[in-house]
């Protein structure tokens, strides 16, 4: 069955790139509503922004969506990953600014909040997108593809010059609470050499060593070090799940990314929907639904990380 959260929950923090404070509230929604953002700081015009792949603006550093009136919300990937990873299909997300709070740089605070409220079933079957043919996107920097599969799975490969990251790869079946246990607490990361350049360009103004993993060669500069030895590739998979959720329904198939970022994953979704023979919508029975992200999540499996929940 489709789901929503049982009651509203709010999060407070600053935007990673803007450095501005923001309050984000996830509210329950009805079946077939999907995921929408609402800018509560804007009083005139269309303030509703769909969490959908065709509303995405291309950006190398985050995922930003914009409606036809020009109203935008950025850095949505972590909250979207949390909703997908907890199996939430319908929600209204209210936000009082243009950028989602970064919190600790991962999805864990959002996951803990969602799980603390609980997930409620709705009287409608889950509609999923089944991949029927391989679809891929290649750029000079990386590539991504979706291929047919029995459930929802993901593999990712990264290669960075900094020894603290280096070459990492991971493959996961995304059912049975995998996102919550394996990925949700992995933080965004960057190279120390890039920090000054980003800030000079007006980016990462809200970034600190507390909400990102900063590396310099073979050193991890963030206090406490890494949460996982392969935290970087885990975070790339977290981002990919959030970006894939903008398809508007869970995907049945295997996603593979090689040095892929937000723009590549969004281009992949656009390529899928541009080819009607490559996919079909299916109504999931209980057996199919059990193989989707969010299936089998238990509250006790959420990593014990301090949350910014209000």
Helix runs in 56-191, H state only: 77-85, 108-117, 178
8-state DSSP, 133? S
Helix runs in the chain, H state only: 77-85, 108-117, 178, 192-200, 231-244, 262-273, 286-289
Tokens describing residue 47: 């303030």
The SS3 call for residue 194 is helix
Based on the residue annotation, tell me whether 300 is a catalytic residue of this protein: no
8-state DSSP, 276? G
Catalytic residue among 12, 235, 262, 300: 262
Strand extents, DSSP E, 8-70: 9-14, 21-28, 35-39, 48-50, 56-57, 64-66
Rounded Cα–Cα distance for residues 139 and 264 (Å): 8
Active site residues: 262
């Amino acid at each position: 069955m489709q789901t929503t959260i049982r009651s509203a929950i709010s999060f407070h923090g600053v935007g990673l790139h803007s450095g501005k404070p923001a309050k984000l509230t996830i509210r329950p929604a009805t079946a077939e509503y999907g995921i929408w953002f609402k800018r509560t700081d804007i009083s005139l015009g269309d303030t509703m922004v769909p969490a959908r792949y065709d509303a995405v603006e291309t950006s190398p550093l985050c995922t930003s969506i914009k409606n036809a009136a020009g109203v935008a919300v950025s850095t949505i990937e972590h909250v979207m990953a949390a909703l997908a990873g907890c199996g939430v299909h319908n929600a209204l997300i209210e936000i009082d600014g243009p950028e989602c709070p970064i919190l600790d740089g991962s999805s864990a605070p959002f996951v803990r909040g969602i799980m603390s409220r609980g997930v409620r079933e709705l009287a409608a079957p889950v509609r999923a997108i089944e991949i029927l043919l391989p679809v891929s996107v290649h750029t000079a920097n990386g590539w991504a593809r979706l291929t047919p599969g029995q459930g929802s799975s993901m593999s990712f490969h990264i290669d960075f010059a900094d020894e603290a990251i280096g070459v990492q790869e991971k493959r996961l079946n995304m059912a049975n609470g995998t996102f919550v246990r394996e990925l949700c607490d992995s933080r965004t990361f960057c190279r120390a050499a890039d920090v000054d350049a980003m800030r000079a360009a007006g980016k990462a103004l809200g970034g600190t060593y507390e909400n990102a993993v900063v590396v310099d060669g073979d050193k991890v500069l963030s206090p406490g070090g890494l949460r996982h030895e392969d935290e970087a590739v885990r975070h790339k998979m977290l981002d990919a799940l959030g970006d894939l959720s903008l398809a508007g329904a869970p995907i049945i198939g295997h996603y593979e990314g090689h040095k892929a970022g937000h723009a590549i994953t969004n281009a992949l979704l656009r390529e899928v929907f541009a080819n009607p023979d490559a996919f079909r919508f299916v109504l999931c029975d209980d057996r199919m639904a059990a193989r989707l992200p969010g299936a089998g999540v238990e509250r006790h499996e959420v990593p014990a990380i301090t949350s910014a929940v209000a």
